[in-house]
A and B are shown apart, each in its own frame.
Chain A
Amino acid sequence: MKRILLMGDPNVGKSVVFSRLTGVHVVASNYPGTTIEYTSGYMRLDGQKIEVVDVPGTYTLDPTNEAEKVATDMLKPDDIVINVVDSTNLERNLNLTLQLLERGNPVLVCLNMWDDAEHRGITIDSGKLEQIIRAPVVPTVAVSGWGIKALVSRIPDARPSEPRIMNQEKRWQEIGSIIRSVQITTRRHHTFLEKLEDASIRPFSGAIIAALVLAGAFTLVRLIGEAIIQYIMEPFFARVYSPLIMKLSSVIAEKQFLHDVLIGRLINGEVDFTQSFGFLSTGVFVPVGMVLPYVVTFYFVLGLLEDVGYLPRLAIFLDRIMHKMGLHGYAIIPTILGLGCNVPGILATRILEEKRQRFIAATIISIGVPCAALQAMIWGMLGPHGWEYVLLVYGILLVVWFLIGFGLNKMMRGFSPELFIEIPRYHVPKLPIVLKKLGMRVLGFLKEALPVVFVGILFVNILYTLGVMDAIARFTAPVVVKLLGLPEEAVTALVIGFLRKDVALGMLAPLSLDPGQLVVASVVLAMFFPCIASFIVLMRELGFLQMIKATLLMVVSAIVVGSLLNLAL
């Protein structure tokens, strides 16, 4: 059976059409030999299972960059193409449509964002367009699902055509004449959203909007996160989960080994969720009770910002600063993703053009960008001592992030390319789509975090039993105690930081550190080594040698910054 390829310009809602057509089982893969990712899934058509591929967005089949080259290479003569078109920008989109038709593939045109076009006073005669290009044309609004059924029903109407060769100049002429006969544009007033679009890319109003958006996002994450902890997680763990665990503890009290593994040590005859260190006590509490609330809210707020279309505007605004670090404004997107989890952040550095940029961006994300899990723990541990300490940690990490980027840019050969990005329009986000994306990300977090937390807990217990921890502690004591001013017991936490930084910071709770020591510990934990998951991704993205360089930089800078802080605080 043939495949269906979804092709179209970037930002036309292709992925939404894709998720409307396919079910839940979608797979993201790398195109061989590249870092370009595409997704594929299956749909049912007349009782048959057909593969559907969401091809990376491209403006043309005459590629101008790696992603476009992949998109072009993926198109095979047999494929059926659903060409997703932004109805508000028909002229530009038809360039790809005509190129697809020239290849001779069966093509079906999906005039997406039909409602947007109406709002903007653009009327398209889809029937006439269909007659001219001799391919089925279906208007859709993918975000609401309108027109998708009609689109599916017309797939069989897409027929192969005679391939032909045309030059770009003639193509634009043809597009011009198509536009004149199918599209009518009426002028109308700017909507509120459009005024806001303009305001957010102007120097002064843009600065105010950027500050408001970032402060708002941060506050929202904190408030909702705290509310979930206070009203859901704490009551649940105190009233429901804890009695359950105590009951289990009394049942398996005889079986010492099982008790140690599942529940861990009892503190004063009670299970202590941060100190017991069993799979079902600490192993569930830290990732679910303390970290998950912030992860959920972070990804919710991020999803809103993404779907509104704000992030590329932030890129324009921060372009100058990012150039000081050898990056351009677009690098802010991986950085913000890194605030959720460093792994997707490092993966997203692929949107940068040059190897040098990707190295700098991935390294400074690993050093200076604390993930949501670590941030949740920093707030939880330092918050009670006063918010100024939490802000201090953020401030130090921000300065370190900038200085290391600045230094790398000065030291490394090469240059940083200029910004070149399309700025999508603002959209009012659709809640079901935001929630679907949120669900996938939270599931991803749990799938990744829980096993590693369990391994970490097992690891700590084994190391303790074997006395390895004491040996490591003796070996590293000079650095940890003399330079960083932390107690010897903190070494264990730093070692666990290799696995999960949230669990590691939690281990410091019983040591009753003063706020200054906690600031040092938080900063050092954030900087000194990537957690195992980011470590693997760094190795895959940068290669072994570059990864070693990045890691050395982390260890050295963490010790230097930690020692300086110890002197200052």
Chain B
Amino acid sequence: MKADGRLGVRDVFILSLNDMKRGESGVIKEILGGHGFARRLESMNIRVGKNITKVSAMFRRGPVTVQADHTRLALGFGMAGRIIVEVKR
């Protein structure tokens, strides 16, 4: 039971990778920006519908490291902000 008394009910948040907490996982909802960026990610099997985990982020808008299946990818803060994820909290 949660602190506010709800039983196992979790809220769904739609947010960018940059707004996720470290260690948090979610399902990719949308990849914004150019087609090239989405295609580059897709070739690495990071695409809409896939599970993605934020492994770490460097301070002061440094690169963000994510993991999808067994692929680990480090990408710039700007790029990370264009990956929109559905997270349950």
Bound CA span A206–B22, Å: 15
State which of B65, B77, B79 has its C-beta within 8 Å of the C-beta of A423.
Answer: B65
User: Are B43 and A62 in contact (CB-based, < 8 A)?
Assistant: yes
Counting chain A CB atoms within 10 Å of each CB, the highest count among B36, B57, B62 belongs to B62
Q: Write out the residue numbers on chain A whose beta carbons fall within 8 Å of the beta carbon of B72.
A: 197, 422-425
Taking a contact as CB atoms under 8 Å apart, the answer to whether B43 and A59 are in contact is: yes
Given the complex of chains A and B, what is the CA–CA distance between A315 and B58 in angstroms? 11
B70 contact from A60, A88, A320, Cβ within 8 A: A88
Q: A92-B45, A328-B76, A423-B72 are in contact. Are A201 and B55 (CB under 8 A)?
A: yes
CB contact list, A79-124 vs B, under 8 A = 86, 88-89, 91-92, 95, 120
Are A319's CB and B71's CB within 8 A? no
- A62: chain B residues within 8 A (beta carbon): 39, 43
In the assembled complex, which residues on chain A have CB atoms less than 8 Å from the CB atom of B71? 89, 92, 422
User: How many residues on the B side are at the interface (Cβ–Cβ under 8 A)?
Assistant: 30
Q: Which of A59, A65, A202, A423 contacts B74 (CB 8 A)?
A: A423
Q: Which residues of B contact A384 (CB under 8 A)?
A: none
Query: In the assembled complex, which residues on chain B have CB atoms less than 8 Å from the CB atom of A48?
Result: none
A317 touches B42 (CB 8 A): no
Whether B73 lies near A64 (C-beta < 8 A) is no
| A425: chain B residues within 8 A (beta carbon) | 72
Among the listed B47, B56, B69, which residue makes an inter-chain contact with A202, where contact means beta carbons less than 8 Å apart? B56
User: Taking the nearest CB of chain B, how far is it from the CB of A193, in angstroms?
Assistant: 13
Question: Chain B 62-89, CB within 8 Å of chain A: the 1/0 string?
Answer: 1101000111111111110000000000
Which A residues from 174 to 215 make CB contacts under 8 A with B? 197-198, 201-203, 206
Q: How far is the CA of A91 from the CA of B46 in the complex (A)?
A: 11
Q: List the A side residues contacting B73 at CB < 8 Å.
A: 420-423
From the candidates B43, B55, B75, name the one contacting A64 in the complex (CB within 8 A).
B43
The verdict on A369 contacting chain B, using a C-beta distance below 8 Å, is no
Chain B CB within 8 A of A316 CB:
yes
The answer for the CA separation of A62 and B42 in the assembled complex, in Å, is 11
Tell me the minimal C-beta distance from B72 to chain A in angstroms: 4
B79 cross-chain contacts in A, Cβ below 8 A: 418, 420
User: Are A201 and B65 closer than 8 Å at their CB atoms?
Assistant: yes
Interface-centre pick from A64, A86, A417, A424 (highest chain B CB count, 10 A) = A64
Among B22, B44, B45, B65, which residue has its beta carbon within 8 angstroms of that of A316?
B65
Chain B residues near A266 (CB-CB < 8 A): none
Tell yes or no: B40 within 8 A of A by CB: yes
Chain B hits for A418, CB < 8 A? 63, 75-79
Contacts of B58 in A (CB 8 A): 203, 206, 316-317, 319-320
Give the shortest distance, in Å, between A194 (CB) and chain B (any CB): 11
Contact assessment for A320 and B62 in the assembled complex, using a CB-CB cutoff below 8 Å: yes
Q: Judge whether A419 and B70 touch: CB under 8 Å.
A: no
A419's partner among B36, B56, B69, B74 (CB-CB below 8 A) is B74
Interface centre among A91, A172, A420 (most CB of B within 10 A): A420
User: Known interface pairs A89-B69, A422-B73. Does A316 touch B43 (Cβ–Cβ under 8 Å)?
Assistant: no
B69 touches A91 (CB 8 A): yes
The answer to whether A64 touches B74, judged by C-beta atoms less than 8 angstroms apart, is: no
* CB-defined contacts of B39 to chain A, threshold 8 Å: 62, 64
Report yes or no: A198 in contact with B75, Cβ–Cβ below 8 A: no
Q: Contact: B59 with A419, CB < 8 Å?
A: no
Decide if A320 touches B60 in the complex (CB within 8 Å). yes
> Is A329 on the interface with B (CB-CB < 8 A)?
yes
Chain A residues with CB under 8 A of B36: 64
Q: Judge whether B76 and A92 touch: CB under 8 Å.
A: no
CB distance B45 to A419 under 8 Å?
no
Q: Which residue of B lies closest to A416 (CB)?
A: B76
CB neighbours (8 Å) of A421 from chain B are 73-74
Chain A residues with CB below 8 A from B59, complex form: 203
- Which residues from chain A contact B57 at a C-beta distance below 8 Å? 203
Q: Which residues of B contact A59 (CB under 8 A)?
A: 43-44
Q: How far is the CB of B66 from chain A (nearest CB, A)?
A: 10
B-chain residues with CB within 8 Å of residue A91 when the two chains form the complex: 45, 69
Q: B47–A172 contact, CB under 8 A?
A: yes
Assuming the contacts A88-B70, A89-B71, asked whether A420 and B76 have C-beta atoms less than 8 A apart, the reply is yes
Kindly report which residue of chain A lies nearest to residue B57, judged by CB atoms.
A203
Q: Write the nearest CB–CB distance from B30 to chain A, whole angstroms.
A: 16
Residue of chain B at shortest CB distance from A417 = B76
A168 at the interface (CB under 8 A from B): yes
Distance, CA A421 to CA B75, complexed state (A): 7
Contacts of A329 in B (CB 8 A): 63, 74
- Residues of A contacting B62 in the complex (Cβ-Cβ under 8 angstroms): 203, 316, 319-320
Is A89 in contact with B70, judged by CB distance below 8 angstroms?
yes
Residues of chain A lying within 8 A (CB to CB) of residue B47 = 172
Decide: A420 and B65 in contact? CB cutoff 8 A: no
Residue among A202, A206, A316, A421 with the highest chain B CB neighbour number at 10 A: A316
Task: List A residues 56-89 near B (Cβ within 8 Å).
Answer: 59-60, 62, 64-65, 86, 88-89
The B-contacting residues of A in range 281-323, CB under 8 angstroms, are 312, 315-317, 319-320
- Cα of A203 to Cα of B60 in the assembled complex, Å: 10
Please name 14 pairs of A and B residues whose Cβ atoms are closer than 8 Å in the assembled complex, sorted by A: A59-B43, A86-B70, A197-B72, A198-B56, A201-B56, A201-B65, A316-B65, A316-B74, A319-B58, A319-B76, A329-B63, A418-B63, A420-B76, A422-B73
Given contacts A89-B69, A423-B74, 20 further A-B pairs with CB under 8 A are: A62-B43, A86-B70, A91-B45, A91-B69, A92-B69, A168-B42, A198-B55, A198-B56, A201-B55, A202-B56, A203-B57, A312-B74, A319-B62, A319-B74, A320-B60, A418-B77, A419-B76, A420-B73, A421-B73, A422-B73
Q: A-contacting residues of B (Cβ < 8 Å)?
A: 22, 36, 39-40, 42-45, 47, 55-63, 65, 69-79
6 closest residue pairs by CB, A with B: A418-B76, A92-B45, A59-B43, A60-B43, A423-B72, A89-B70
